Amino acid sequence: MAINWFKYSAPSTFYGLAGKLIPFFAWPAAILFATGLYIGFFVAPTDAVQSEAYRIIFIHVPASILSMFIYLIMAGYAALGLIFNTRLSSMMAQALAPTGALFAFISLWTGALWGKPMWGAWWVWDARLTSELILLFLYLGFIALQASIEDPRRADKAAALLAIVGSVNVPIIYFSVKWWNTLHQGATIKMTGTSMHVAMQQAMFIVLVACWLYVIAVALARVRSIILERERNTQWVNELKEVQS
Amino acid sequence: MSEFFAMNGYAFYVWGSYGVAVLVFGIEVWLARNRRKNILRELKLMRMDTEENGERA
Amino acid sequence: MNKLSLFGLLGLVVRRDLLLAMRRRTDVLTTLVFFVMVVSLFPLGVGPEPDMLRKMASGVVWVAALLASMLSLPRMFSADHADGTLEQMMLAPQSLSVLVLGKILAHWMLSGLPLALIAPVLGLQFDMSVQALWILVLALLLGTPVLSMIGAIGAALTLGLRGGGVLVSLLVLPLCIPVLIFGAGAVEAVNGGMSAVSNLALLGAFMLFALVFTPFVAAQALRISME
Protein backbone atom coordinates (compact mmCIF):
# COMPACT_ATOMS: atom_id res chain seq x y z
CA MET A 1 0.00 0.00 0.00
CA ALA A 2 1.33 3.44 -0.78
CA ILE A 3 2.37 5.38 2.27
CA ASN A 4 0.64 8.70 2.15
CA TRP A 5 3.56 10.90 3.13
CA PHE A 6 1.44 13.95 2.91
CA LYS A 7 -0.60 12.74 5.83
CA TYR A 8 2.09 14.16 8.09
CA SER A 9 2.17 17.50 6.37
CA ALA A 10 -1.08 18.42 8.06
CA PRO A 11 -0.44 20.15 11.38
CA SER A 12 -2.91 17.97 13.24
CA THR A 13 -1.28 14.65 12.33
CA PHE A 14 2.23 16.08 12.56
CA TYR A 15 1.49 17.29 16.09
CA GLY A 16 1.06 13.72 17.32
CA LEU A 17 4.02 12.41 15.35
CA ALA A 18 6.32 15.15 16.64
CA GLY A 19 5.22 14.45 20.19
CA LYS A 20 6.25 10.80 19.84
CA LEU A 21 9.54 11.66 18.12
CA ILE A 22 10.91 14.19 20.59
CA PRO A 23 12.20 11.66 23.17
CA PHE A 24 13.96 9.71 20.39
CA PHE A 25 15.97 12.80 19.59
CA ALA A 26 16.30 14.38 23.03
CA TRP A 27 17.77 11.45 24.94
CA PRO A 28 20.33 10.38 22.34
CA ALA A 29 21.37 14.04 22.11
CA ALA A 30 22.10 14.17 25.82
CA ILE A 31 23.95 10.85 25.80
CA LEU A 32 26.06 11.72 22.75
CA PHE A 33 26.82 15.16 24.16
CA ALA A 34 28.12 13.57 27.34
CA THR A 35 30.23 10.95 25.52
CA GLY A 36 31.59 13.55 23.11
CA LEU A 37 32.69 15.79 25.95
CA TYR A 38 34.11 12.82 27.84
CA ILE A 39 36.30 11.89 24.87
CA GLY A 40 37.15 15.54 24.31
CA PHE A 41 38.28 16.12 27.87
CA PHE A 42 39.69 12.79 28.96
CA VAL A 43 40.76 10.88 25.88
CA ALA A 44 42.05 13.67 23.65
CA PRO A 45 45.66 14.61 24.55
CA THR A 46 46.84 18.03 25.62
CA ASP A 47 47.64 20.11 22.59
CA ALA A 48 51.30 21.02 22.12
CA VAL A 49 50.66 24.62 21.18
CA GLN A 50 47.45 25.59 22.94
CA SER A 51 47.64 23.15 25.92
CA GLU A 52 44.13 22.92 27.39
CA ALA A 53 42.45 25.97 25.85
CA TYR A 54 41.92 24.19 22.53
CA ARG A 55 39.25 22.02 24.19
CA ILE A 56 36.82 24.84 23.50
CA ILE A 57 36.91 23.63 19.89
CA PHE A 58 34.52 20.78 20.75
CA ILE A 59 31.66 23.23 21.26
CA HIS A 60 32.84 26.14 19.10
CA VAL A 61 33.18 24.34 15.76
CA PRO A 62 29.89 22.37 15.99
CA ALA A 63 28.07 25.56 17.01
CA SER A 64 29.50 27.47 14.05
CA ILE A 65 28.70 24.69 11.58
CA LEU A 66 25.19 24.33 12.95
CA SER A 67 24.45 28.06 12.98
CA MET A 68 25.18 28.10 9.25
CA PHE A 69 23.28 24.89 8.44
CA ILE A 70 20.24 25.80 10.49
CA TYR A 71 19.97 29.05 8.54
CA LEU A 72 20.00 27.20 5.22
CA ILE A 73 17.46 24.64 6.44
CA MET A 74 15.31 27.43 7.82
CA ALA A 75 15.46 29.19 4.45
CA GLY A 76 14.58 25.88 2.78
CA TYR A 77 11.50 25.37 4.96
CA ALA A 78 10.55 29.00 4.46
CA ALA A 79 10.84 28.62 0.68
CA LEU A 80 8.69 25.48 0.82
CA GLY A 81 6.09 27.35 2.83
CA LEU A 82 6.17 30.27 0.40
CA ILE A 83 5.95 28.16 -2.77
CA PHE A 84 3.57 25.40 -1.70
CA ASN A 85 1.60 27.41 0.81
CA THR A 86 2.12 24.65 3.35
CA ARG A 87 1.60 26.24 6.77
CA LEU A 88 3.59 23.54 8.53
CA SER A 89 6.78 24.37 6.61
CA SER A 90 6.56 28.01 7.64
CA MET A 91 5.89 26.97 11.22
CA MET A 92 9.01 24.78 11.08
CA ALA A 93 11.07 27.70 9.81
CA GLN A 94 9.76 29.86 12.63
CA ALA A 95 10.58 27.10 15.10
CA LEU A 96 14.17 26.75 13.87
CA ALA A 97 15.06 30.45 13.91
CA PRO A 98 15.59 30.94 17.68
CA THR A 99 17.71 27.79 17.96
CA GLY A 100 19.83 28.91 15.01
CA ALA A 101 20.29 32.33 16.59
CA LEU A 102 21.33 30.70 19.87
CA PHE A 103 23.94 28.57 18.12
CA ALA A 104 25.29 31.66 16.36
CA PHE A 105 25.54 33.33 19.77
CA ILE A 106 27.26 30.30 21.30
CA SER A 107 29.69 30.24 18.38
CA LEU A 108 30.54 33.92 18.94
CA TRP A 109 30.78 33.52 22.72
CA THR A 110 33.03 30.47 22.62
CA GLY A 111 35.02 32.07 19.76
CA ALA A 112 35.68 35.12 21.91
CA LEU A 113 36.58 33.04 24.95
CA TRP A 114 38.93 31.00 22.84
CA GLY A 115 40.38 34.05 21.13
CA LYS A 116 41.35 35.70 24.40
CA PRO A 117 44.03 33.14 25.42
CA MET A 118 45.11 32.42 21.85
CA TRP A 119 45.08 35.81 20.18
CA GLY A 120 45.11 37.99 23.27
CA ALA A 121 41.85 39.78 22.47
CA TRP A 122 38.20 39.08 23.21
CA TRP A 123 37.14 40.03 19.72
CA VAL A 124 39.24 39.65 16.62
CA TRP A 125 37.89 40.79 13.24
CA ASP A 126 38.64 37.38 11.82
CA ALA A 127 36.65 36.62 8.68
CA ARG A 128 34.78 33.71 10.21
CA LEU A 129 33.92 35.45 13.47
CA THR A 130 32.74 38.53 11.56
CA SER A 131 30.51 36.58 9.17
CA GLU A 132 29.16 34.69 12.19
CA LEU A 133 28.20 38.04 13.73
CA ILE A 134 26.45 39.08 10.51
CA LEU A 135 24.68 35.70 10.43
CA LEU A 136 23.39 36.44 13.94
CA PHE A 137 22.01 39.76 12.63
CA LEU A 138 20.27 37.90 9.79
CA TYR A 139 18.65 35.56 12.33
CA LEU A 140 17.53 38.50 14.47
CA GLY A 141 16.14 40.20 11.36
CA PHE A 142 14.12 37.07 10.53
CA ILE A 143 12.78 36.74 14.06
CA ALA A 144 12.01 40.47 14.33
CA LEU A 145 10.13 40.53 11.04
CA GLN A 146 8.16 37.40 11.93
CA ALA A 147 7.27 38.84 15.33
CA SER A 148 6.27 42.29 14.13
CA ILE A 149 3.53 41.17 11.74
CA GLU A 150 0.28 40.17 13.43
CA ASP A 151 -1.27 38.16 10.64
CA PRO A 152 0.54 34.76 10.74
CA ARG A 153 0.10 34.13 7.02
CA ARG A 154 1.73 37.41 6.00
CA ALA A 155 4.38 37.02 8.70
CA ASP A 156 5.34 33.60 7.33
CA LYS A 157 5.58 34.75 3.75
CA ALA A 158 7.42 38.00 4.51
CA ALA A 159 9.94 36.23 6.76
CA ALA A 160 10.31 33.50 4.14
CA LEU A 161 11.23 36.01 1.47
CA LEU A 162 13.74 37.60 3.84
CA ALA A 163 15.26 34.19 4.64
CA ILE A 164 15.64 33.38 0.94
CA VAL A 165 17.23 36.77 0.20
CA GLY A 166 19.43 36.28 3.26
CA SER A 167 20.59 32.83 2.25
CA VAL A 168 21.59 34.14 -1.19
CA ASN A 169 23.64 36.82 0.55
CA VAL A 170 25.39 34.55 3.09
CA PRO A 171 28.11 33.40 0.62
CA ILE A 172 28.52 36.93 -0.76
CA ILE A 173 28.93 38.32 2.76
CA TYR A 174 31.38 35.55 3.69
CA PHE A 175 33.64 36.12 0.70
CA SER A 176 33.57 39.90 0.96
CA VAL A 177 34.41 39.70 4.67
CA LYS A 178 37.15 37.15 3.93
CA TRP A 179 38.57 39.44 1.23
CA TRP A 180 38.26 42.43 3.53
CA ASN A 181 39.99 40.59 6.36
CA THR A 182 42.94 39.39 4.32
CA LEU A 183 43.43 42.97 3.10
CA HIS A 184 43.69 44.29 6.64
CA GLN A 185 45.30 41.58 8.69
CA GLY A 186 47.19 39.40 6.32
CA ALA A 187 46.25 35.76 6.14
CA THR A 188 43.55 34.84 8.61
CA ILE A 189 45.00 33.23 11.70
CA LYS A 190 44.53 29.48 11.54
CA MET A 191 42.29 28.39 14.40
CA THR A 192 43.25 24.74 14.23
CA GLY A 193 46.91 25.01 13.33
CA THR A 194 47.86 21.64 14.76
CA SER A 195 46.89 18.54 12.82
CA MET A 196 43.83 17.04 14.48
CA HIS A 197 44.47 14.07 16.73
CA VAL A 198 41.94 11.30 15.99
CA ALA A 199 40.35 11.57 19.45
CA MET A 200 39.82 15.30 18.86
CA GLN A 201 38.04 14.63 15.57
CA GLN A 202 35.90 11.93 17.17
CA ALA A 203 34.89 14.19 20.04
CA MET A 204 34.05 17.07 17.74
CA PHE A 205 32.00 14.83 15.44
CA ILE A 206 30.08 13.26 18.33
CA VAL A 207 29.27 16.68 19.81
CA LEU A 208 28.17 17.83 16.35
CA VAL A 209 25.75 14.91 16.03
CA ALA A 210 24.56 15.52 19.59
CA CYS A 211 23.86 19.16 18.76
CA TRP A 212 22.04 18.12 15.61
CA LEU A 213 19.74 15.82 17.57
CA TYR A 214 19.26 18.55 20.14
CA VAL A 215 18.23 21.04 17.44
CA ILE A 216 15.68 18.60 16.02
CA ALA A 217 14.23 17.89 19.44
CA VAL A 218 13.92 21.57 20.38
CA ALA A 219 12.54 22.51 16.96
CA LEU A 220 9.91 19.77 17.18
CA ALA A 221 8.93 20.88 20.65
CA ARG A 222 8.67 24.51 19.60
CA VAL A 223 6.75 23.71 16.42
CA ARG A 224 4.20 21.82 18.52
CA SER A 225 3.62 24.93 20.61
CA ILE A 226 3.36 27.04 17.46
CA ILE A 227 0.80 24.60 16.03
CA LEU A 228 -1.27 24.86 19.19
CA GLU A 229 -1.03 28.64 19.20
CA ARG A 230 -2.07 28.96 15.59
CA GLU A 231 -4.74 26.28 15.58
CA ARG A 232 -6.25 27.21 18.92
CA ASN A 233 -9.74 27.62 17.50
CA THR A 234 -9.82 24.35 15.63
CA GLN A 235 -11.82 21.31 16.60
CA TRP A 236 -8.93 18.86 16.76
CA VAL A 237 -7.06 21.02 19.25
CA ASN A 238 -10.14 21.22 21.40
CA GLU A 239 -10.40 17.44 21.54
CA LEU A 240 -6.73 16.92 22.44
CA LYS A 241 -6.37 14.94 25.60
CA GLU A 242 -4.02 17.54 27.03
CA VAL A 243 -6.76 20.11 26.65
CA GLN A 244 -9.55 17.83 27.80
CA SER A 245 -7.90 16.80 31.07
CA MET B 1 40.58 16.26 40.33
CA SER B 2 41.15 19.96 40.98
CA GLU B 3 44.10 19.84 38.56
CA PHE B 4 41.66 18.73 35.89
CA PHE B 5 39.35 21.66 36.57
CA ALA B 6 42.28 24.07 36.49
CA MET B 7 42.65 23.28 32.78
CA ASN B 8 46.30 24.26 33.00
CA GLY B 9 45.35 27.83 33.83
CA TYR B 10 42.71 28.17 31.11
CA ALA B 11 39.89 27.12 33.42
CA PHE B 12 38.03 30.38 33.07
CA TYR B 13 37.97 30.23 29.29
CA VAL B 14 37.14 26.54 28.91
CA TRP B 15 34.51 26.36 31.62
CA GLY B 16 33.25 29.79 30.66
CA SER B 17 32.52 28.52 27.18
CA TYR B 18 30.94 25.22 28.19
CA GLY B 19 29.12 26.78 31.12
CA VAL B 20 27.43 29.36 28.92
CA ALA B 21 26.68 26.79 26.22
CA VAL B 22 24.99 24.41 28.67
CA LEU B 23 23.24 27.35 30.31
CA VAL B 24 21.87 28.50 26.95
CA PHE B 25 20.66 24.99 26.12
CA GLY B 26 19.01 24.77 29.53
CA ILE B 27 17.27 28.11 29.15
CA GLU B 28 16.04 27.19 25.69
CA VAL B 29 14.56 23.89 26.90
CA TRP B 30 12.98 25.63 29.87
CA LEU B 31 11.48 28.32 27.63
CA ALA B 32 10.10 25.72 25.23
CA ARG B 33 8.53 23.81 28.12
CA ASN B 34 7.16 27.05 29.54
CA ARG B 35 5.65 28.07 26.21
CA ARG B 36 3.87 24.73 25.96
CA LYS B 37 2.52 25.02 29.51
CA ASN B 38 1.14 28.53 28.78
CA ILE B 39 -0.61 27.60 25.55
CA LEU B 40 -2.14 24.47 27.11
CA ARG B 41 -3.43 26.49 30.06
CA GLU B 42 -4.91 29.03 27.64
CA LEU B 43 -6.59 26.31 25.60
CA LYS B 44 -8.12 24.80 28.71
CA LEU B 45 -9.49 28.21 29.74
CA MET B 46 -10.90 28.71 26.26
CA ARG B 47 -12.54 25.31 26.36
CA MET B 48 -14.11 25.99 29.76
CA ASP B 49 -15.45 29.31 28.46
CA THR B 50 -17.03 27.75 25.40
CA GLU B 51 -18.55 25.02 27.53
CA GLU B 52 -20.07 27.46 30.00
CA ASN B 53 -21.42 29.73 27.28
CA GLY B 54 -22.43 26.68 25.29
CA GLU B 55 -24.57 25.35 28.15
CA ARG B 56 -26.12 28.65 28.95
CA ALA B 57 -26.92 29.59 25.31
CA MET C 1 -6.24 53.40 -24.79
CA ASN C 2 -2.64 53.28 -25.94
CA LYS C 3 -0.87 50.60 -23.95
CA LEU C 4 1.91 52.23 -21.96
CA SER C 5 5.26 50.60 -22.76
CA LEU C 6 7.38 49.37 -19.88
CA PHE C 7 9.86 52.18 -20.26
CA GLY C 8 6.95 54.57 -20.47
CA LEU C 9 5.74 53.26 -17.13
CA LEU C 10 9.22 53.54 -15.69
CA GLY C 11 9.53 57.18 -16.76
CA LEU C 12 6.02 57.91 -15.52
CA VAL C 13 6.64 56.48 -12.06
CA VAL C 14 9.99 58.21 -11.68
CA ARG C 15 8.60 61.58 -12.82
CA ARG C 16 5.62 61.20 -10.50
CA ASP C 17 7.71 60.32 -7.47
CA LEU C 18 10.21 63.09 -8.10
CA LEU C 19 7.36 65.57 -8.51
CA LEU C 20 5.75 64.41 -5.27
CA ALA C 21 9.08 64.60 -3.48
CA MET C 22 9.79 68.10 -4.73
CA ARG C 23 6.47 69.22 -3.28
CA ARG C 24 7.58 68.06 0.15
CA ARG C 25 11.20 69.20 -0.21
CA THR C 26 11.95 68.77 3.49
CA ASP C 27 12.03 64.98 3.11
CA VAL C 28 14.79 65.19 0.54
CA LEU C 29 16.75 67.68 2.58
CA THR C 30 16.51 65.70 5.80
CA THR C 31 18.40 62.80 4.19
CA LEU C 32 21.08 65.15 2.93
CA VAL C 33 21.38 67.12 6.17
CA PHE C 34 21.52 63.88 8.15
CA PHE C 35 24.38 62.66 5.96
CA VAL C 36 26.32 65.91 6.32
CA MET C 37 25.74 66.04 10.05
CA VAL C 38 26.81 62.45 10.72
CA VAL C 39 29.99 62.85 8.68
CA SER C 40 30.84 66.16 10.37
CA LEU C 41 30.34 64.69 13.84
CA PHE C 42 33.18 62.20 13.49
CA PRO C 43 36.10 64.64 13.58
CA LEU C 44 34.56 66.15 16.74
CA GLY C 45 34.48 62.73 18.28
CA VAL C 46 37.78 61.40 17.05
CA GLY C 47 40.00 64.47 17.02
CA PRO C 48 41.38 66.71 14.28
CA GLU C 49 44.69 64.99 13.34
CA PRO C 50 44.66 65.03 9.53
CA ASP C 51 46.36 61.68 8.94
CA MET C 52 43.96 59.90 11.29
CA LEU C 53 40.99 61.53 9.59
CA ARG C 54 42.32 60.75 6.14
CA LYS C 55 42.58 57.09 7.04
CA MET C 56 39.01 56.77 8.29
CA ALA C 57 37.40 59.19 5.86
CA SER C 58 36.01 56.64 3.39
CA GLY C 59 34.64 54.40 6.15
CA VAL C 60 32.88 57.31 7.82
CA VAL C 61 31.39 58.64 4.60
CA TRP C 62 30.19 55.20 3.56
CA VAL C 63 28.61 54.33 6.91
CA ALA C 64 26.88 57.73 6.90
CA ALA C 65 25.65 57.07 3.33
CA LEU C 66 24.31 53.69 4.43
CA LEU C 67 22.44 55.18 7.38
CA ALA C 68 21.13 58.13 5.38
CA SER C 69 19.63 55.89 2.70
CA MET C 70 18.08 53.70 5.43
CA LEU C 71 16.43 56.80 6.82
CA SER C 72 14.36 57.52 3.73
CA LEU C 73 13.48 53.90 2.87
CA PRO C 74 10.13 53.57 4.65
CA ARG C 75 8.82 56.53 2.66
CA MET C 76 9.34 54.63 -0.59
CA PHE C 77 5.95 52.88 -0.43
CA SER C 78 4.28 54.17 2.72
CA ALA C 79 2.76 57.33 1.22
CA ASP C 80 1.14 55.42 -1.65
CA HIS C 81 0.16 52.60 0.72
CA ALA C 82 -1.58 55.00 3.07
CA ASP C 83 -3.84 56.64 0.48
CA GLY C 84 -4.48 53.46 -1.50
CA THR C 85 -2.73 54.43 -4.74
CA LEU C 86 -0.39 51.47 -4.25
CA GLU C 87 -3.33 49.09 -4.66
CA GLN C 88 -4.34 50.80 -7.87
CA MET C 89 -0.76 50.67 -9.10
CA MET C 90 -0.65 46.95 -8.46
CA LEU C 91 -3.67 46.51 -10.71
CA ALA C 92 -1.78 48.06 -13.63
CA PRO C 93 -1.41 45.67 -16.59
CA GLN C 94 2.31 46.32 -16.77
CA SER C 95 4.59 44.21 -14.63
CA LEU C 96 4.87 45.29 -11.01
CA SER C 97 8.64 44.80 -11.12
CA VAL C 98 9.07 47.70 -13.53
CA LEU C 99 6.90 49.87 -11.34
CA VAL C 100 9.02 48.95 -8.31
CA LEU C 101 12.16 49.64 -10.33
CA GLY C 102 10.77 53.09 -11.04
CA LYS C 103 10.22 53.66 -7.33
CA ILE C 104 13.74 52.44 -6.59
CA LEU C 105 15.18 54.79 -9.20
CA ALA C 106 13.21 57.72 -7.78
CA HIS C 107 14.38 56.87 -4.25
CA TRP C 108 17.96 56.66 -5.45
CA MET C 109 17.71 60.03 -7.17
CA LEU C 110 16.45 61.53 -3.95
CA SER C 111 18.91 59.88 -1.57
CA GLY C 112 21.83 58.14 -3.28
CA LEU C 113 22.61 60.69 -5.97
CA PRO C 114 22.69 63.82 -3.75
CA LEU C 115 24.91 61.95 -1.26
CA ALA C 116 27.37 61.09 -4.01
CA LEU C 117 27.40 64.67 -5.29
CA ILE C 118 27.96 66.24 -1.89
CA ALA C 119 30.48 63.64 -0.71
CA PRO C 120 33.55 65.49 -2.18
CA VAL C 121 32.72 68.56 -0.12
CA LEU C 122 32.67 66.43 3.00
CA GLY C 123 35.81 64.65 1.85
CA LEU C 124 37.65 67.94 2.14
CA GLN C 125 36.78 68.01 5.82
CA PHE C 126 38.80 64.83 6.08
CA ASP C 127 41.69 66.22 4.04
CA MET C 128 41.28 63.56 1.34
CA SER C 129 43.40 63.78 -1.81
CA VAL C 130 41.64 64.83 -5.02
CA GLN C 131 42.11 61.40 -6.56
CA ALA C 132 40.62 59.73 -3.48
CA LEU C 133 37.64 62.11 -3.67
CA TRP C 134 37.10 61.20 -7.29
CA ILE C 135 37.13 57.47 -6.48
CA LEU C 136 34.81 58.07 -3.49
CA VAL C 137 32.19 59.72 -5.71
CA LEU C 138 32.51 56.95 -8.30
CA ALA C 139 32.16 54.25 -5.64
CA LEU C 140 29.15 56.01 -4.13
CA LEU C 141 27.52 56.30 -7.54
CA LEU C 142 27.98 52.55 -8.02
CA GLY C 143 27.11 51.52 -4.45
CA THR C 144 24.13 53.68 -3.42
CA PRO C 145 21.77 52.19 -6.04
CA VAL C 146 22.36 48.79 -4.46
CA LEU C 147 21.38 50.26 -1.09
CA SER C 148 18.14 51.55 -2.59
CA MET C 149 17.42 48.25 -4.32
CA ILE C 150 17.99 46.03 -1.30
CA GLY C 151 16.25 48.67 0.79
CA ALA C 152 13.19 48.41 -1.49
CA ILE C 153 12.82 44.77 -0.45
CA GLY C 154 12.99 45.77 3.20
CA ALA C 155 10.54 48.63 2.70
CA ALA C 156 8.09 46.37 0.87
CA LEU C 157 8.31 43.67 3.55
CA THR C 158 7.71 46.07 6.41
CA LEU C 159 4.91 48.01 4.67
CA GLY C 160 2.42 49.40 7.11
CA LEU C 161 4.10 48.00 10.23
CA ARG C 162 4.46 50.25 13.24
CA GLY C 163 8.13 50.72 14.02
CA GLY C 164 8.84 49.93 10.39
CA GLY C 165 11.71 52.41 10.11
CA VAL C 166 13.96 50.65 12.61
CA LEU C 167 12.89 47.25 11.36
CA VAL C 168 13.91 48.08 7.79
CA SER C 169 17.41 48.95 8.94
CA LEU C 170 17.68 45.74 10.94
CA LEU C 171 16.65 43.71 7.90
CA VAL C 172 18.61 45.58 5.26
CA LEU C 173 21.91 46.63 6.86
CA PRO C 174 23.40 43.12 7.09
CA LEU C 175 22.68 42.65 3.40
CA CYS C 176 24.45 45.91 2.48
CA ILE C 177 27.71 44.99 4.20
CA PRO C 178 29.48 43.78 1.02
CA VAL C 179 28.71 47.15 -0.60
CA LEU C 180 30.14 48.95 2.45
CA ILE C 181 33.28 46.79 2.42
CA PHE C 182 34.10 47.30 -1.23
CA GLY C 183 32.93 50.90 -1.31
CA ALA C 184 35.17 51.95 1.54
CA GLY C 185 37.85 49.57 0.26
CA ALA C 186 37.97 51.38 -3.08
CA VAL C 187 39.09 54.64 -1.50
CA GLU C 188 41.49 52.90 0.87
CA ALA C 189 43.05 51.09 -2.10
CA VAL C 190 43.71 54.44 -3.73
CA ASN C 191 45.13 55.89 -0.48
CA GLY C 192 47.32 52.82 -0.23
CA GLY C 193 48.61 53.41 -3.72
CA MET C 194 46.88 50.39 -5.23
CA SER C 195 44.36 50.79 -8.02
CA ALA C 196 40.70 50.69 -6.98
CA VAL C 197 39.56 49.03 -10.18
CA SER C 198 38.86 45.68 -8.54
CA ASN C 199 36.68 47.26 -5.84
CA LEU C 200 34.74 49.34 -8.34
CA ALA C 201 34.32 46.31 -10.58
CA LEU C 202 32.85 44.32 -7.71
CA LEU C 203 30.55 47.22 -6.79
CA GLY C 204 29.39 47.27 -10.40
CA ALA C 205 28.80 43.52 -10.22
CA PHE C 206 26.71 43.93 -7.06
CA MET C 207 24.70 46.63 -8.77
CA LEU C 208 23.95 44.49 -11.82
CA PHE C 209 23.15 41.48 -9.65
CA ALA C 210 20.78 43.57 -7.58
CA LEU C 211 19.29 45.22 -10.67
CA VAL C 212 18.30 41.80 -12.03
CA PHE C 213 16.76 40.35 -8.88
CA THR C 214 15.58 43.03 -6.48
CA PRO C 215 12.71 44.53 -8.52
CA PHE C 216 11.14 41.08 -8.84
CA VAL C 217 11.71 40.18 -5.18
CA ALA C 218 10.44 43.57 -4.01
CA ALA C 219 7.34 43.09 -6.19
CA GLN C 220 6.77 39.70 -4.52
CA ALA C 221 7.22 41.34 -1.15
CA LEU C 222 4.65 43.98 -2.09
CA ARG C 223 2.17 41.30 -3.10
CA ILE C 224 2.73 39.56 0.22
CA SER C 225 2.29 42.76 2.18
CA MET C 226 -0.74 43.93 0.27
CA GLU C 227 -2.65 40.64 0.35
Instruction: Grade residue A119 by pLDDT with cuts at 50, 70 and 90.
Output: confident
Alpha-carbon span B33 to A218, nearest angstrom: 10
**Amino acid symbol at C114:** P
Give the model confidence (pLDDT) of C101-133 as tens digits.
Answer: 999 999 999 999 999 999 999 988 888 889 999
Q: Is A176 on the interface with C (CB under 8 A)?
A: yes
Average pLDDT over residues A51-75: 89
Q: Is the pLDDT of residue B57 over 70?
A: no
Least confident of A117-121, A131-135, A137-141, B15-19: A117-121
Average pLDDT over residues A215-219: 95
Choose, out of B5, B15, B25, B45, the residue to mutate when testing the contact with A (most A CBs < 10 Å).
B25
pLDDT for res A39: 87
Instruction: Grade residue A2 by pLDDT with cuts at 50, 70 and 90.
Output: low
Q: Is A136 on the interface with C (CB under 8 A)?
A: no
- ipTM of this complex: 0.90
Q: How far is CA C39 from CA C34, C52, C99, C122, in A?
A: 9, 15, 33, 7
pLDDT for res A192: 52
Q: Is the pLDDT of residue A189 over 50?
A: no
Domain boundaries of chain A, sorted by first residue: 29-43+51-244
Check: CB of residue C53 under 8 Å from CB of residue C39.
no
Q: Is A83 on the interface with C (CB under 8 A)?
A: no
Q: How far is CA B37 from CA A216, A221, A243, B25, B45, in A?
A: 20, 12, 11, 18, 12
pLDDT for res A228: 92
Alpha-carbon span C63 to C122, nearest angstrom: 13
Alpha-carbon span C1 to B14, nearest angstrom: 74
Average pLDDT over residues C45-54: 89
- Nearest CA to CA, how far is A1 from chain B (Å)? 36
Average pLDDT value over all residues in chain A:
86
Assess whether chains B and C touch, using the rule of 3 or more C-beta pairs within 8 angstroms: no
Q: Is A163 on the interface with C (CB under 8 A)?
A: no
Within 8 A of C175 by CB-CB distance, chain A residues are 165-166, 169, 173
pLDDT for res C153: 95
Q: State in Å, rounded, how far the first CA of chain B is from the last one.
A: 70
